[in-house]
Amino acid sequence: MQRTTAPNERDRLRIAIQKSGRLSEPALALLAAAGLSWQESRDKQFYYGESLPIDLLLVRDDDIPGLIADGVCDLGMVGRNVLIEQQYERESRGQPRPFRELRGLGFGRCRLMFGIPEAWDWQPEVQLPGKRIATSYPALLGRWLQQRGIDATVVLMSGSVELAPRLGQADLVCDLVSSGGTLSANQLKPVEVVLDSEAVLAGPTESFADVRAGIAELLLRRLDGVMKIRDSKLLMLQAPRAVLPHLMQLLPDAEPPTVTPLDGQPGGDVAVQALCHGAMTWQRLEDLKRAGARGLMVLPVERMLA
């Protein structure tokens, strides 16, 4: 059934995510952890939200900023590299900024970096003038060069950027790097970061003026909760009350603890419960034990609502 609302008025929120690629699975996992469930359309292009009035549109990641700008989608999960590239590109054409980053999502981490031949030293002001730099991010690279007053040739490539120097198409590259393995396989070394990137939740610059405002707010609250507990653990231990200050010094990433006297234990022993936001490694547990803690237990946190 076709609804007859104006294109910019909807009573459901529509989020664009990558259809197939590095960001697809983590984006769906994050939305599921925030309580969204969905029904997939037969062509797997549109997921109809069941538990919340939120639908998903599955598209190429490069289309996501434009879909938000055009109001076809309300929010999107996309790499910061893609979002900023398209923002700079629009700005260079004098178009206003139609989307913005609402949250970093903590997955799809990578960096846009210069990769240079292994034999080079890195002295950009000296080396770059007149060189050819292969990239898929001409606007980001262009702005970086412009800010430093460097005049180099940007060679636009849509894929396999790291091959360009070997094929004689460019002298160096400015490409996305996560481990650096692809660069070194092509005798290039990463030298300078142009942009630190991760997947972000993007939305329009203006807030929604209808029920979508409330739905977006609920989703953001839930996403914040999910992201906050991703590395959080509940730490339980027992210890003499006197060593508690020392234990808390070893737990700088812990929330204020709950401290309960132990029943029938003379000597002021207490049970301690603390929510910790950093990784609770064996090393840290051993340090706590050495400082007087015993009965240490680390428990996963399933849900949290601040």
Residues forming the site for ligand ATP (CB under 6 A): 18, 21-23, 60-62, 79, 81-82, 108, 110, 176, 178, 197
Q: How far is the CB of 82 from Zn ion (least distance, A)?
A: 7
Strand order in the sheet with 258-261: 258-261, 269-276, 233-240, 294-300
Look at residue 138 and give the partner it binds from Zn ion, ligand ATP, none, a contact being a CB closer than 5 to 8 Å depending on partner kind: none
Nearer to Zn ion, 7 or 159 (CB): 159
For helices 80-92 and 138-147, the axis angle rounded to 10 degrees is 70
258 strand-pairing partners: 273
Tokens coding 241: 């009350």
Q: Which amino acid is at 21?
A: G
- Asked whether the beta carbons of 139 and 89 are under 8 A apart, the reply is yes
Nearer to Zn ion, 194 or 293 (CB): 194
Look at residue 81 and give the partner it binds from ligand ATP, Zn ion, none, a contact being a CB closer than 5 to 8 Å depending on partner kind: ligand ATP
Q: How far is the CB of 47 from ligand ATP (least distance, A)?
A: 16
The region of 30-38, 58-66, 230-238, 276-284 touching Zn ion under the rule CB under 5 A is: 58-66
Q: Which ranges of the chain would DSSP assign to H, the alpha helix?
A: 24-33, 64-69, 80-92, 124-127, 138-147, 181-185, 212-230, 244-249, 282-290
Look at residue 18 and give the partner it binds from Zn ion, ligand ATP, none, a contact being a CB closer than 5 to 8 Å depending on partner kind: ligand ATP
Q: How far is the CB of 122 from ligand ATP (least distance, A)?
A: 21
Look at residue 241 and give the partner it binds from ligand ATP, Zn ion, none, a contact being a CB closer than 5 to 8 Å depending on partner kind: none
First to last CA, the chain: 39
The answer to the question of residue 175 lying near Zn ion (CB under 5 A) is: no
Nearer to ligand ATP, 52 or 59 (CB): 59
Q: How far apart are CA 207 and CA 186, in angstroms?
A: 45
Closest alpha carbon to 88 in 141, 155, 124, 132: 141
Closest alpha carbon to 201 in 85, 304, 83: 83
Nearer to ligand ATP, 191 or 211 (CB): 191
Q: How far is the CB of 130 from ligand ATP (least distance, A)?
A: 28
- Tell me which of 23, 34, 55, 61 binds Zn ion, using CB under 5 A: 61
Look at residue 108 and give the partner it binds from Zn ion, ligand ATP, none, a contact being a CB closer than 5 to 8 Å depending on partner kind: ligand ATP
Measured in whole angstroms, how far is the alpha carbon of residue 10 from the centre of its chain? Answer: 27
Closest alpha carbon to 202 in 69, 99, 48: 99
- Sheet strands (E) in 60-187: 75-79, 99-104, 110-117, 132-135, 153-156, 172-177
Chain position whose Cβ is nearest to ligand ATP:
79
Q: Which amino acid is at 2?
A: Q
| DSSP 8-state code for residue 254 | B
Conformational region of residue 202, where left means phi above 0, alpha means psi within -120 to 50, and beta covers everything else:
beta
Exposure letters 172-182 (e unless 16+ CB within 10 A, then b): bbbbbbeeeeb
Q: How far is the CB of 57 from ligand ATP (least distance, A)?
A: 13
Q: How far is the CB of 161 from ligand ATP (least distance, A)?
A: 10
Nearer to Zn ion, 79 or 204 (CB): 79
Q: How far is the CB of 240 from Zn ion (least distance, A)?
A: 58
The answer to the question of residue 62 lying near Zn ion (CB under 5 A) is: yes
Q: How far is the CB of 45 from ligand ATP (least distance, A)?
A: 13
Nearer to ligand ATP, 23 or 293 (CB): 23
Nearer to Zn ion, 62 or 224 (CB): 62
Contacts with Zn ion by CB under 5 A lie at 61-62
